[in-house]
Amino acid sequence: MSRIVPEKWMPACQMKGIITHWNAGAHKASELDKEHYHLLIEDDGRLIRGDHEISDNLNTGDGDYAAHTRGCNTGYIGVSLMCMGNAVQSPAYYGKWPMTKKQWETMALVCADLCERYQIPVSPTTVLGHGEVGKYLGIPQRGKWDPLALPWRPELGMYAVGELFRDEVRKALSDTNTLPTKDERTPVNILVNGVDLGVDGYLLDANTLAPVRPLAKALDAVITNVDEYKVYFVSPDNQRREALYLNHAGVGHVSVRDFATKCGKDVQWDAKSHTLNVVSRGPAF
C-alpha cells in the first residue's frame, strides 16, 4: 500500500538504493529534468514521473536510463526536488527557488514508498543525498551538495541534513506500519453540534482520530504552528494551547476528544453508530 507514489510507477525489479537530488533550477520540472530523474517533486509537492522507468536503471550499458549521479546510476533510483537554482553553499544563499518544506516532506514519503516496494533498507549507503555519495559510496561528485541544505534550518550541515532525512523516511515507514491502513481502520463519524464534519475519523486504541485542520476550523480554533509531535493553537476562549499530533501519511491527526476538550467542548460517543458528536459544554454546576 503506497503512500504517494502510484503503484504502476514502481515496476518490479531489484534496486540497490535511492539517491536524492535537487535540479539546481526553478520550481517546476523541465523536459530536461524529466530525462534525468525517475521521480520529480515540484515546490507544491506535486509528484511528476520522469521519462525513464525505474527498471531502466537495472543496467546502464544500453544508454537507456536516468543519468542522475556520476558513476552511480546502475541500480539506483533518482528522486529530485525542483529547486535551488542559483543557490550557493557557502556563504549560504538559497536563491530564487529555495527548497520548500512541502518538497522535503514529500520526498520522505516518496522514499518510504520506494524503500517498501524495493525492500531497500534506510541507511547512508542505500538512501542518500547526491552530496553524500562521495562520503558513503566513495564515488567523488565534484562539489555536489544536493539536496542537503534546508533554508528553514540553515544551521544544519550537509551530513546532518542527510541523517535528518533518513529519520524522516524511517518515521514515514513506521507511521504506516503502526497505524492501521485506511481499509483496516474502524471509521468514526464526526459531528459538530449534530452536523457531519465530513472527515475521515477513525478509532485508534479507543481514541477517535481526525484530521486536525477541518476540526480546528469547525471549532473556531486557530492553528499557529505544528511540529513533529504537537499542534499549537489558539482556542475559542483565546488561550494558547497544544495537543498531541500524529502525522499519518502527510495529514496531521489529533484525538478529537482531547482537541475538543481543549476548545471548551464536550464529546458524546455513540458506540452503536460509531459516532462522536462534539457539543457545546453545558452550564457548570
Which residues of this protein are in contact with Zn ion, per CB under 5 A?
Answer: 21, 130, 146
Instruction: Enter the C-alpha cell of residue 20.
Output: 536524492
Whichever of 132 and 146 has its CB closer to Zn ion, that residue is 146
Whichever of 95 and 211 has its CB closer to Zn ion, that residue is 95
Amino acid at 216: A
Q: Determine phi and psi for 194, rounding to 5 degrees.
A: 85, -5
Whichever of 95 and 264 has its CB closer to Zn ion, that residue is 95
CB 55, min distance to Zn ion, A: 21
Q: Residue 244: enclosing H or E segment and its boundaries? A: strand 240-244
**Residue 159 half-sphere exposure, CB side, CA atoms within 13 Å?**
6
Whichever of 130 and 248 has its CB closer to Zn ion, that residue is 130
DSSP annotation string for 12-50 = S----EEEEEE-SB-SS--HHHHHH-SEEE-TT--EEE-
CB 69, min distance to Zn ion, A: 6
CB 144, min distance to Zn ion, A: 6
Instruction: Enter the C-alpha cell of residue 114.
Output: 520506494
CB 182, min distance to Zn ion, A: 34
